[in-house]
Structure 1
Amino acid sequence: MADTLRRIEDWVFSWCTSLVFIKFLRNLEFIGTFVFSNCTSLTSIFIPPSCREIGYIPFTYCRKLLIFQVPQHTSLGYLALDTCAALFKASPFGPVPPHEIETGYTDEVTAWIKNVHGDDEEYALHRACCSFNPMTDIIYEIVKKQGLKSFKKPNGIGITPLRYLEENPFADIDQSAVVKRYVLDLMGIEYNMRE
């Protein structure tokens, strides 16, 4: 999508059942109602920090959607992730019939989605790998503290930092370079980024 795009209006990608990947760019401010409804092949969405609002039921029946990274300040519309089977299967909530959903339930789900990684050090690498601007040096410093095994540690919904890096459209991190730097550092050999 072009950097000039600021809004995605209602129903734009609805029923694009082969849509697997989408990269939003830096100026997106609004995602409308039912925009990605029935995009049954979509597995991950990374919302940029510029996005202030996501409308009503934008991801309904995105059955494979498991990774949904959204900034804390982004307003999520009512039932933003309704019937996202993969995400709800991994959540503490489970699917709830539409006639039983109340505003409190929606608010609770929204709070959980925005805090999947929490604030503790245990999921620092997850937060770094799924951020809008992942940085090699930050990722390396976390791996240096937590060890290489931290790349494969699943969070509460079963996603590893490595998978976040693979699916994050904003990531341009060479995991093998991070590993090489880590090993050479352990051996006391200075890592040259140009190698």
Structure 2
Amino acid sequence: MKVQTEEWRRFIPGVRMYKDKKTLFYNGEKLWEGDGSSGRPLIYDEEERNTWQVVIILPGVEVIPEWTFWSCKNIKTVIMADTVRRIEYKAFFGCDSLVFVGLSKNLEYIGYAAFYWCESLTSIFIPPSCREIDDEVFERCRKLIILGLPQNVQLGAGVFQCTLLMTKSPLELDEDGEYNEEDEEAAVQWVKSINNEEAYALHRACSSFNPLPEIIHALVKRQGLSGMRSPNTIGITPSQYLAANTFADISENNVINSYILDMMGEAL
């Protein structure tokens, strides 16, 4: 589900049906007071919070406060305006139906355990503006495996603990899927190196911020269309990266059409 910026400007804050989904148009106000289960909801009660399927963070919002969407069990989609700079402590903790997050292109910081226990989340793409991802941000996101991650972002401890991604790592894990604390630096280096080999240049291009069509086209021309379906060491293909990439303005169909037209031109 994508929402164009010009559409957002027409919406006032509040809850309404949008494209057949119960949607909160969020303006940055505080929605939860206190810590987790010992705290209390503000503005909307817990019953109402559990009806939301989509959250759209409206333009002008710069900070998503701590605990804001804590344990909103039915939110599946979150789309952020590019004004958002910070996601604070446990803002989306326990949103276990969440499958799609479109982060702000200007995001700078993701706070401690912000997406902890979002068990349905399979992919996340971090913009290069993000300088720090605090401890345990994606811990226990059990299905998370597709990742777009800038090399210069600072990762806290246990950011990807107990995720499908880490089960593909060479690290020794315990029965709960956790690695030892002394392996933290090795875990960070491994996550950042997944697509660094030259053989995975196409994977790297498709998972990058704002993938460039000319670069992808050149790589596909060199490797052939089969390169789009070639898995890396964790089993993810360039096609999967591109389809999940929230910052991509190009699709696999665009890549295929461009390749075919180019080949036809050469043949003629």
Q: TM-score, normalised by structure 1?
A: 0.89
Is 1:149 the counterpart of 2:226? The answer is yes
Distance 2:123 2:82 in 1: 20
**Which one has more relative contact order, counting CA pairs under 8 Å at least 6 apart?**
1
Following TM superposition, by how much is the alpha carbon of 1:4 offset from its aligned partner in structure 2, in angstroms? 1.8
Give 1:15's aligned residue: 94
Give 2:121's aligned residue: 42
Change (3 A) 1:162 1:174: same
1:111-190 equivalences under 5 Å are: 111-120=189-198, 122-188=199-265
Contact 2:161 2:179 in 1 (8 A): no
Distance 1:123 1:82 in 2: 24
What letter corresponds to residue 137 of structure 1 in structure 2?
E
What letter corresponds to residue 233 of structure 2 in structure 1?
G
Following TM superposition, by how much is the alpha carbon of 1:187 offset from its aligned partner in structure 2, in angstroms? 2.8
Following TM superposition, by how much is the alpha carbon of 1:94 offset from its aligned partner in structure 2, in angstroms? 4.6
- Deviation string, structure 1 residues 72-123 (Cα, Å, up to 9, x no partner): 1100001111111x112222225247897224x1100100101101141x11
After superposing the two structures, state which structure 1 stretch, 181-190 or 69-78, moved more: 181-190
Q: Tell me how many residue pairs correspond in the alignment.
A: 187
Structure that is richer in strand per residue? 2
Structure that is richer in helix per residue? 1
Following TM superposition, by how much is the alpha carbon of 1:176 offset from its aligned partner in structure 2, in angstroms? 2.1
Following TM superposition, by how much is the alpha carbon of 1:51 offset from its aligned partner in structure 2, in angstroms? 0.4
Following TM superposition, by how much is the alpha carbon of 1:184 offset from its aligned partner in structure 2, in angstroms? 2.9
Contact 1:88 1:94 in 2 (8 A): no
- Deviation string, structure 1 residues 18-56 (Cα, Å, up to 9, x no partner): 110111112111101111111000000111000000111
Change (3 A) 1:94 1:23: farther
Give the alignment's Cα RMSD to 1 decimal: 1.8
What letter corresponds to residue 52 of structure 1 in structure 2?
R
Distance 2:169 2:207 in 1: 18
Unaligned runs of 5+ in 1: 191-195
Bigger CA radius of gyration = 2
Contact 2:147 2:207 in 1 (8 A): no
Change (3 A) 1:71 1:96: farther
Following TM superposition, by how much is the alpha carbon of 1:182 offset from its aligned partner in structure 2, in angstroms? 1.7
